[in-house]
Amino acid sequence: MAKQLPDNPEIEPLTRTQILIAMGVTAAVLLIVAKLWLRLGSVNLLPLRGTVDAILLGLGLAVAISGASSLVYRLWPAYRESADFYLQLVLKPLVLPDIIWLGLLPGMSEELLFRGVMLPAVGLNATGLLASSLLFGVLHLSSPQQWPYVAWASVVGLLLGLSALATGNLLVPIVAHVVTNLVSSYLWKLKNRQVEA
């Protein structure tokens, strides 16, 4: 019998292969939804302009989100428990080079759908920002007990959406999302590697 995750006996741990396949399939599904939405709807993709300013803004936002996440992790016990459960489920089976895929695949596919397509489709306004942020948060729901993680993901979605609205450039939230995923995943793996040693 496979070892079960703490505090949630109904969820079996996943293998490295299962996680990598799930990441790839999820990214492909999000990309397909985004492409279909663009093709079938009268939506224009938020522009993607590769500029040094966009990269620097994205990096700065990633640092701000990572710092805020660390603070929320320390101050909100329910979020800490929720994040640890989610990250253990997703990150524990992965090896360090896999973290590159964990940064790139969700960072690019989720931003394309939520900020690149959904935000302009619903509206480049408060309604579009709120709707895309909440749906982005719900995407991170792995069980009903994970609401604190969903709440924080919604806040992060709001920050990523604000960056897209403020700059009119999809590259800013893509860089921020990819780098945030890379940094947080790497730090979690490093911390838990030391704990297990």
The DSSP 8-state label assigned to residue 12 in this structure reads: P
Domain that holds residue 181: 49-196
Assigned domain for 7 exists: no
pLDDT at 10: 54
Question: What pLDDT digit, counting tens, does each position of 32-48 carry?
Answer: 999 999 999 888 999 99
Give 182's pLDDT tier (boundaries 50, 70, 90): very high
Q: Answer whether residue 86 is part of any domain.
A: yes
Confidence of residue 5 (pLDDT cuts 50, 70, 90): very low
Residue 186 maps to a domain: yes
Pick the closest to residue 79 from 87, 126, 26, 47 (CA basis): 87
Task: Report how many domains make up the chain.
Answer: 1
Residue 33 lies in a domain: no
30 in a structural domain: no
Would 8 be classed as within a structural domain?
no
Euclidean distance between CA atoms 101 and 108, whole angstroms:
10
Residue 194, both tokens: 């030391």
Look up residue 178 and give its amino acid. V
Share of the chain above pLDDT 90, in %: 75
What is the C-alpha to C-alpha distance for residues 43 and 136, in angstroms, rounded to an integer? Answer: 19
- In this structure, is residue 41 part of a structural domain? no
Instruction: Identify whether 177 is part of a domain.
Output: yes
When pLDDT is cut at 50, 70 and 90, the band that residue 140 belongs to is confident
Q: Is 142 helix (H, G, I), strand (E, B) or coil?
A: coil
Only one residue has tokens 């940064």, namely 103
